[in-house]
Chains A and B, each alone.
Chain A
């Protein structure tokens, strides 16, 4: 079962200004946490996302493509990155999610990915 961790980030931008000690700490913790996932063979892919403000939300209504500048809803937290893992079950996925800095700094939404038999 693949699980997608949606890494929430408060405020819609990077958690820390680049070049600051705070940002270096985050970068180091991220590297350590994801390296452990890779060593355990559960990590498929992970990446941060550009700030929520630069998102484009797309809908098609009556055959017409409608674009909205920005994320789809006004929320306190934004998805700031994702991690895709392969785990046996939810318990294992939750255990790995809890090792990521985002779990301490904000929150992580854990969603199972439906196996459609494609895209592997």
Chain B
């Protein structure tokens, strides 16, 4: 409850006091009060409104204290702009507007005036409530460097008065792609551990789906927002089947499809169908269509790989990246045989962006094994081991090597 209210609380307080760092601190304090009081006094009727109200009170209180503090120190702080003035007459809290305020914060974190690499970090911290240490660990950046980057981004949002609200219809086409990208990255951060076991955070998947859902509700005329929601739902539906009891990765073809969440798949398919009706295709709609092909196949053998290979061929036009091409290679391998796939894969395998990417090396090793090129497959798995695979990936490689050498 506290987790899913964090973003809305930070968004509201930041809008009222004009400072994101101050808002995060105030929400943190309010959470601490909730953790202490709720078990004793009971959970309030509207816990989110309580949290937002408490945090807002704490933040305004702190600003008033600081602005009352007389003397040179305060005057100096004003000249350098480090202390915002307390709001004169803040508008009363409207619990019904909190979803929009949270989306406004997402748009602020994804503002094009911020460097692209800081946007997802800021969203993970300010909207999803990860600690700076957690954000640093997930994005493979040293913690002091991440803290500095976040502080600079917050200061820029405050000093340059970057608006924390949904942009108007004129600006939306320019602003939406960055937001969709960041929501997608938040989801993948929860869905695929960047490194190591302890970092799996399924709550991030829930956050990304919740925020995208509220974005689609607010912007029903944007098919790519619908496409992203469908993609997240259809991918998330496989959550329970993706790892086994030991936490090992279970490949799509080996997953127990009875564990797939049928309700989530039905919702994803419906959202996708509605998005496609706008007849403005895009990258997320295509990726969702691919996920839908998988979700609708009764078994791995029933998968319509020809259709999937075609969809990847379309996707390359919107996202001409080696990663998409590598995925197309796997689909072609399934539709036309491992040799046809390997030709495409080998053409991109040495791309600098992919040379160190473990999933690609695993896919390549798998195709080699299917072609009975056992020695090459073993070499490819051994190469993948040198690229710093996650613990579950390492176990998968060990299992495959055992089979090949067996």
Contacts and interface: CB of A to CB of B under 8 A. Distances in A.
A112 B79 CA distance: 13
Contacts of B79: 114, 116
Nearest to B168: A91
B81 A90 contact: no
B160 A112 contact: yes
Given A91-B167, A91-B171, A117-B78, A112 B113 contact: no
Nearest to A95: B171
A94 B160 CA distance: 11
Interface string B64-82: 0000000000000011110
Contacts of B162: 89-91
B356 interface: no
Chain A, interface residues (CB within 8 Å), range: 10 to 19
A54 B79 CA distance: 30
A112 B161 contact: yes
Interface string B148-191: 00000000000111110001000100000000000000000000
A116 B78 contact: yes
A110 B79 CA distance: 19
Interface in B103-146: 111, 113
Nearest to B162: A90
Contacts, number: 30
A92 to B, nearest CB: 9
B204 to A, nearest CB: 28
A1 B157 CA distance: 13
Contacts of A90: 111, 113, 160-163
A96 B79 CA distance: 26
A12 B312 CA distance: 50
Contacts of B160: 90, 110-112
A91 B163 contact: yes
Given A90-B113, A91-B171, A94-B113, A1 B80 contact: no
Interface in B40-88: 78-81
A89 B81 contact: no
A89 B167 CA distance: 12
Contacts of B163: 88-91
Contacts of A111: 160
A18 B80 CA distance: 40
Nearest to A110: B160
B161 A89 contact: yes
Interface string A86-120: 00111100100000000000000011101011000
A85 to B, nearest CB: 12
A91 B167 CA distance: 9
Nearest to B170: A95
Contacts of B80: 114
Contacts of A88: 161, 163
A48 B163 CA distance: 30
A90 B160 CA distance: 6
A3 to B, nearest CB: 8
Contacts of B78: 114, 116-117
A20 B159 CA distance: 41
Contacts of A117: 78
A76 B167 CA distance: 35
Contacts of B161: 1, 88-90, 112
Given A89-B161, A94-B113, A114 B81 contact: yes
A91 B159 CA distance: 13
A11 B167 CA distance: 37
A111 B171 CA distance: 21
B113 to A, nearest CB: 6
A78 B159 CA distance: 24
A94 B80 CA distance: 23
Contacts of A110: 160
A75 B160 CA distance: 24
Contacts of A89: 161-163
Contacts of B159: 112, 114
Nearest to B80: A114
Nearest to A91: B163
Contacts of B167: 91
Interface of B: 78-81, 111, 113, 159-163, 167, 171
12 contacts: A88-B161, A90-B111, A90-B113, A90-B163, A91-B163, A111-B160, A112-B160, A112-B161, A114-B78, A114-B79, A114-B81, A116-B79
Given A91-B162, A114-B81, 12 more contacts: A88-B163, A89-B161, A89-B163, A90-B111, A90-B113, A90-B161, A91-B163, A112-B160, A114-B79, A114-B159, A116-B79, A117-B78
For the complex of A and B, the 9 pairs showing the least CB-CB separation, nearest first, are: A114-B81, A89-B163, A1-B161, A89-B161, A90-B160, A112-B160, A90-B162, A112-B159, A90-B161
